[in-house]
Amino acid sequence: MRSPSPRQPCKPTSLGGRCEIGSIAFDGRERISARHYHRGVLHNGSTVTVRVPAKINIGLRVGPRRLDGYHGLSTVYHAVSLYDTVSVKAADAMRLTLTGPESTGLAADDTNLAWQAARLLAEHLAVPKPGAISKPGAISKPGFDLHIDKQIPVAAGLAGGSADAAGALLACHELWGLDLDAIELSGLAAQLGSDVPFAVHGGTMLGSGRGETVRPIAVGGSWTWVLALAAGSLSTPAVYAELDRQRASAQTASATGSPSAEPAAESDAPAPESDATVLAALARGDTDGLSAAAGAMNDLQAAAVALAPYLEDTLRAGREAGARLAMVSGSGPTCVFLAEAGTAEQIADRLRALPRCRAALVVTGNAPVLPAWPAEPGPS
């Protein structure tokens, strides 16, 4: 079963040797099909399964609030080996079920981003492209039976909801036998959320725009991180709003001597540049270089700490236990610590003793989207 409309050639705009369409930038010569690019799907009869990783941000530079309400940013997205597993079966209606330790309290309905992702792809599938002749037997708005085993917390700065949306896109894309290219798929992903285009790819990528424009970058060596999962969550919009408030307050204080409670004015100022020293350290696999360059590079960190002051204790405890780098992940409240070989478990143990840390996990970085192989049958 193929797409109901003939493939339309994508027309890259040449931008100084790069092609930048929708939300993903590639070298001009790279016309990679989604099937080729997204190797992390597994067919098992009528079920398609994909494992999608959480992300951390190694450095997050945030510009002023834009006229559309988003903030321009520059970040290094880095997927880590904490996975949600998304499976889909063909169905007449739309259905979503959730299991796993991080599924408690999550809605399994059309407010869930994974549901929205599957529905968006189904709608995209049913809309004939200009000039397309529909084929007999072409599918239109298929249903889905989605299941997510949730290990990644949501509202935690780990893009857990975005990972599920990406998993649903990839799994449904395979189930419905589509042949969208990576750029089209990323365009759909960007409609779902700023982090979703990255979550479709995994690995390590430079993110710009509002986060939806992603480009692969070189990563040397292997990276071990400890994640401190907080007993609590933070809303991403609330953390951005707190950043605006802090910036406005600092600006007014420097102009008038007294702080203001108003949010910063909107601006069409250019998004921040990426930090070349962080990129170079990542490419070399250089822990010293990375810890020196990325130490204070999350612009959302102060805002997250203002809303959840206990994060200061978490960051301090990780540093004292020997972490080379301690930072809030994205908008928090997860804190992330770069560990040298042999120190990760001791850092995790120290974090687990904190009252506001509900779990500490040792993970490795640069994690790909993965096939989820069926479990070995147990002894009968």
Task: State which amino acid sits at residue 282.
Answer: L
Answer for which of 23, 74, 194, 287 binds ligand C5P (CB under 6 A) is: 194
Question: Which span sits near ligand C5P by CB under 6 A: 147-155, 187-195, 222-230, 348-356?
Answer: 187-195
Answer for which of 193, 202, 272, 365 binds ligand C5P (CB under 6 A) is: 193
3-state secondary structure of 67: coil
Single out the catalytic residue among 164, 195, 244, 299.
195
Answer for which of 157, 202, 211, 272 binds ligand C5P (CB under 6 A) is: 211
* Catalytic status, residue 135: no
Our CB check for ligand C5P shows the closer of 73 and 339 to be: 73
Contact positions with ligand C5P (CB under 6 A) in 229-258: 236-237, 240
Look up residue 182 and give its DSSP letter: H
Our CB check for ligand C5P shows the closer of 214 and 344 to be: 214
Our CB check for ligand C5P shows the closer of 70 and 310 to be: 70
Question: Helices (DSSP H) in the chain: which residue ranges?
Answer: 34-37, 113-126, 160-175, 182-192, 196-201, 236-256, 276-284, 287-294, 301-307, 311-320, 344-352
> Is residue 55 part of the contact set for ligand C5P (CB under 6 A)?
no
> Is residue 310 part of the contact set for ligand C5P (CB under 6 A)?
no
Sign of CA dihedral 33, 36, 40, 44: positive
Look up residue 253 and give its DSSP letter: H
Residue 66 C-beta-side C-alpha neighbours within 13 Å = 12
Distance CA(158)–CA(167), nearest Å, equals 15
Q: Whose structure tokens read 């549901």?
A: 115
Contact residues for 197 (Cβ-Cβ < 8 A; gap 6+): 23, 24, 186, 189, 190, 212, 213, 214
What angle do helix axes 182-192 and 113-126 make, rounded to 10 degrees?
Answer: 130
CB of 21 to ligand C5P, least distance (A): 19
> Is residue 287 part of the contact set for ligand C5P (CB under 6 A)?
no
Please tell me the total number of residues recorded for the chain in this structure: 380
* Catalytic status, residue 141: no
> Is residue 329 part of the contact set for ligand C5P (CB under 6 A)?
no
Our CB check for ligand C5P shows the closer of 52 and 178 to be: 52
Our CB check for ligand C5P shows the closer of 84 and 145 to be: 84
Contact positions with ligand C5P (CB under 6 A) in 63-102: 70-71, 73
CB of 271 to ligand C5P, least distance (A): 9
Residue 43: its H or E element? strand 42-44
Distance CA(178)–CA(180), nearest Å, equals 6
CB of 193 to ligand C5P, least distance (A): 4
Total residues interacting with ligand C5P, rule: CB under 6 A = 11
Contact positions with ligand C5P (CB under 6 A) in 332-351: none
In degrees and rounded to multiples of 5, residue 139 shows phi and psi of -80, 150
- Opening angle at CA 332, ends 60 and 49, nearest 5: 90
Our CB check for ligand C5P shows the closer of 71 and 324 to be: 71
Question: Which span sits near ligand C5P by CB under 6 A: 38-46, 168-176, 189-197, 276-284?
Answer: 189-197
The catalytic residue positions are: 55, 195
Residues within the interface to ligand C5P (CB under 6 A): 70-71, 73, 193-195, 210-211, 236-237, 240
